[in-house]
């Protein structure tokens, strides 16, 4: 670092600006590598990138520069650059960003390279970049020595992670492709992408603890949204018939492999449809997105082959419990359910209602089996205060979740649009809250008022974009698919 500061000074003394304004590029590294043909003769290019390797040999230097597409070797020769410029070359370091103009050629060892006619320093790097050495083995595989792998450093200094680990770069490119594929799937069907408030005076749409902030001018607390749901439903009331939003939600809860305090959610609401329709739609969309980013209906995640061939399995929650535990819970009251949970060795908190008991059994004994894409349907009513009562199964709502690789990917229901029923459900949540359930939903009076004007029957869907990305990129942790995951501050 100190030495590089000195180089900075020496560059200034030589009249070289270490941070110039502009450099015009005519080709990327991969353009050059893909298009070069020996028989075509000299090809003039202008490329720019960061120096990642350097081999100095007296009056000549070989280096690799990396741009956003690939690495390309450049050949810097004193005779061609002139001794004056070559003195500047001597002051270059790994990590510096340079622009090179020259001709494409193939070296004696066969590597396509750029023979520099001129070189421009574009940005001096003042810190040493931990670039690992690498080579190709006989089979042409990339072998990296002492790679930059420390997870904490990778997450805290993501820029270096992206620079040094091409696989990381690929994951984030794929994340963008996934979002783009979702968006174009929805746009092609005429749904309207909208933006709703992140700062909300009343938080709702999910059961979770919020982040609280304060608005100075209004002198009121505001909450970072935990879900978009209630605002998107207001848009259905307002006459839009298909709306979606892709945005961040915030939940003030624990962090682990599957949870980050801020995460990205897609929510979609479609008028006049129900959850059965939404199930078909979700299946079609997931298949389309996976095909567009992975080019196949079969992917391998953690050594397991997953098939996205339709139709995905569909099974009601109770049937899934019966299948994987051998315990039928049909017709059981709360005491019966508790007894069943005990037999299955599932711990249930003291004051949980019957729905929570079912959920506990499901989480503990069923989820682990849901590897291939599976729709779980028909959830207990008290777990789903915004979902419509099932048309034929008392005590349940018309809701499904999609599980893949033991992970919940999507959640959807026939949306509750009866304002009287909705008020009852909020009251029930208030009772749960009074009993100490911190996550029970708060009553949103403004939403209820809007609902009283009439909301069309509708189906709603939420998809966790981070988890979907984990799945489709085979990433084991949510931090591998969030560019800047939440970290405890360094001290």
Residue of 11, 96, 108 whose CA lies nearest to 60: 108
Q: Does 147 participate in binding RNA (rule CB under 7 A)?
A: yes
Q: Does 429 participate in binding RNA (rule CB under 7 A)?
A: no
Q: Minimum Å distance from CB 24 to RNA?
A: 25
Q: Does 452 participate in binding RNA (rule CB under 7 A)?
A: no
Q: Does 401 participate in binding RNA (rule CB under 7 A)?
A: yes
Q: Does 203 participate in binding RNA (rule CB under 7 A)?
A: no
Q: Does 38 participate in binding RNA (rule CB under 7 A)?
A: no
Which H or E element spans position 116? strand 112-123
CA atoms of 325 and 306, how far apart (whole Å): 23
CA atoms of 189 and 225, how far apart (whole Å): 27
Beta strands in 381-425 (DSSP E): 396-404, 407-414
Q: Minimum Å distance from CB 22 to RNA?
A: 27
Q: Minimum Å distance from CB 289 to RNA?
A: 20
Q: Minimum Å distance from CB 241 to RNA?
A: 26
Q: Minimum Å distance from CB 312 to RNA?
A: 17
Supply the DSSP symbol for 415.
B
Q: Does 342 participate in binding RNA (rule CB under 7 A)?
A: no
Cα 420–chain centre separation: 38
CB 422 within 8 A of CB 416: yes
Contact pick of 14, 35, 151, 431 for RNA (by CB under 7 A): 151
Q: Minimum Å distance from CB 168 to RNA?
A: 13
Cβ closer to RNA: 110 or 295? 110
Residue of 93, 92, 88, 63 whose CA lies nearest to 76: 63
Supply the DSSP symbol for 443.
P
CB 384 within 8 A of CB 399: yes
Write the DSSP string, 122-182: EE---S---PPPEEE-TT--EEESS----HHHHHHTHHHHHHH-HHHHHHHHHHHHHHHHH
CB-CB neighbours of 199 under 10 Å: 11
Q: Does 73 participate in binding RNA (rule CB under 7 A)?
A: yes
The residue range among 171-179, 200-208, 232-240, 337-345 that interacts with RNA, by the rule CB under 7 A, is 200-208
Q: Does 418 participate in binding RNA (rule CB under 7 A)?
A: no
Q: Does 25 participate in binding RNA (rule CB under 7 A)?
A: no
Q: Does 142 participate in binding RNA (rule CB under 7 A)?
A: no
Q: For the chain, how far is it from start to end, CA to CA, in angstroms?
A: 22
Angle at 391 between CA 390 and CA 397, to 5 degrees: 5
Q: Minimum Å distance from CB 82 to RNA?
A: 10
The residue range among 38-46, 146-154, 194-202, 385-393 that interacts with RNA, by the rule CB under 7 A, is 146-154
Q: Does 3 participate in binding RNA (rule CB under 7 A)?
A: yes
Cα 337–chain centre separation: 37
Q: Minimum Å distance from CB 94 to RNA?
A: 5
What are the helix and strand counts (H, E) for the chain? 15, 20
Instruction: Point out which residues pair with 113 in neighbouring strands.
Output: 73, 105
Cβ closer to RNA: 147 or 456? 147
Cβ closer to RNA: 450 or 460? 460
Write the DSSP string, 259-306: B-SEEEEEEEEEET--HHHHHHHHHHHHHHHHHHHHSSSEEEETTEEE
Cβ closer to RNA: 314 or 419? 314
Q: Does 180 participate in binding RNA (rule CB under 7 A)?
A: no
Looking at residues 219 to 238 of the shown chain, list those that interact with RNA (rule: CB under 7 A). Answer: none
Q: Does 349 participate in binding RNA (rule CB under 7 A)?
A: yes
Contact pick of 33, 168, 206, 370 for RNA (by CB under 7 A): 206
Contact pick of 35, 59, 189, 291 for RNA (by CB under 7 A): 59
Cβ closer to RNA: 71 or 233? 71
Supply the DSSP symbol for 387.
B
Instruction: Point out which residues pair with 243 in neighbouring strands.
Output: 192, 269
Q: Does 177 participate in binding RNA (rule CB under 7 A)?
A: no
Q: Minimum Å distance from CB 255 to RNA?
A: 8
Write the DSSP string, 209-224: PPPEEEETTTTEEEEE
Cβ closer to RNA: 115 or 369? 115
Q: Does 36 participate in binding RNA (rule CB under 7 A)?
A: no
Binding mask of the shown chain, residues 350 to 389, with x at each position contacting RNA by CB under 7 A = ---------xx-xxx-------------------------
The first and second tokens of residue 428, run together, are 């029930």
CA atoms of 276 and 457, how far apart (whole Å): 13
Q: Does 46 participate in binding RNA (rule CB under 7 A)?
A: no
Q: Does 239 participate in binding RNA (rule CB under 7 A)?
A: no
Size of the site for RNA (CB under 7 A): 71
Looking at residues 242 to 261 of the shown chain, list those that interact with RNA (rule: CB under 7 A). Answer: 251, 253-254, 256-257, 259
194 to each of 141, 233, 285, 328, how far by Cα in Å? 45, 12, 19, 44
CA atoms within 13 A on the CB side of 391: 6
Q: Does 108 participate in binding RNA (rule CB under 7 A)?
A: yes
Contact pick of 70, 94, 287, 344 for RNA (by CB under 7 A): 94
Q: Does 316 participate in binding RNA (rule CB under 7 A)?
A: no
């Amino acid at each position: 670092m100190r030495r590089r500061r000195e180089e900075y000074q020496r560059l200034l003394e030589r009249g070289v600006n270490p941070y110039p304004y502009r450099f015009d590029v005519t080709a990327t590294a991969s353009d050059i590598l893909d298009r070069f043909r020996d028989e075509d003769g000299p090809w003039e290019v202008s490329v720019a990138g960061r120096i990642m390797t350097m081999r100095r040999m007296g009056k000549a230097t070989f280096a690799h520069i990396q741009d956003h597409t690939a690495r390309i070797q450049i050949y810097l020769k004193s005779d061609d650059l002139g001794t004056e410029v070559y003195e500047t070359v001597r002051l270059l370091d790994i990590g510096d960003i340079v622009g090179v103009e020259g001709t494409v050629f193939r070296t004696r060892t066969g590597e396509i390279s750029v023979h520099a006619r001129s070189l421009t320093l574009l940005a001096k790097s003042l810190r040493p970049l931990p670039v690992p050495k690498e080579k190709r083995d006989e089979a042409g595989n990339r072998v990296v020595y002492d790679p930059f792998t420390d997870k904490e450093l990778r997450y805290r200094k993501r820029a270096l992670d992206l620079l040094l680990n091409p696989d990381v770069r690929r994951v984030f490119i794929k994340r963008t492709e996934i979002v783009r594929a979702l968006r174009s799937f929805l746009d092609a069907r005429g749904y309207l992408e909208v933006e709703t408030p992140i700062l909300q005076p009343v938080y709702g749409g999910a059961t979770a603890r919020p982040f609280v902030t304060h608005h100075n001018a209004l002198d009121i607390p505001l909450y970072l949204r935990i879900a978009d749901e209630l605002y998107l439903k207001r848009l259905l009331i307002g006459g839009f018939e298909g709306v979606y939003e892709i945005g961040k939600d915030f939940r003030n809860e624990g962090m682990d492999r599957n949870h980050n305090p801020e995460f990205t959610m897609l929510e979609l609401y479609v008028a006049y449809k129900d959850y059965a329709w939404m199930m078909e739609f979700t299946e079609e969309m997931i298949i389309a997105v996976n095909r567009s980013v992975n080019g196949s209906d079969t992917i391998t995640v953690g050594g397991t082959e997953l098939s996205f061939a339709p139709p995905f399995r569909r099974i009601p929650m109770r049937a899934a419990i019966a299948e994987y535990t051998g315990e039928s819970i049909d017709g059981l009251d709360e005491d019966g359910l508790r007894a069943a949970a005990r037999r299955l060795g599932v711990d249930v908190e003291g004051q949980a209602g019957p729905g929570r008991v079912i959920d506990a059994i499901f989480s503990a004994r069923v989820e682990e089996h849901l590897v291939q894409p599976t729709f779980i349907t028909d959830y207990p009513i008290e777990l789903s205060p915004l979902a419509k009562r099932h048309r034929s199964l008392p005590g349940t709502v018309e809701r499904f979740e999609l599980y893949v690789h033991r992970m919940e990917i999507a959640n959807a229901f026939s949306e509750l649009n009866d304002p009287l029923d909705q008020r009852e459900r909020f009251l029930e949540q208030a009772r749960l809250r009074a009993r100490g359930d911190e996550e029970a939903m708060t009553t949103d009076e403004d939403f209820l008022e809007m609902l009283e004007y009439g909301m069309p029957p509708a189906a709603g869907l939420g998809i966790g974009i981070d988890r979907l990305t984990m799945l489709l990129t085979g990433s084991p942790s949510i931090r591998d698919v969030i560019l800047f995951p939440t970290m405890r501050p360094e001290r």
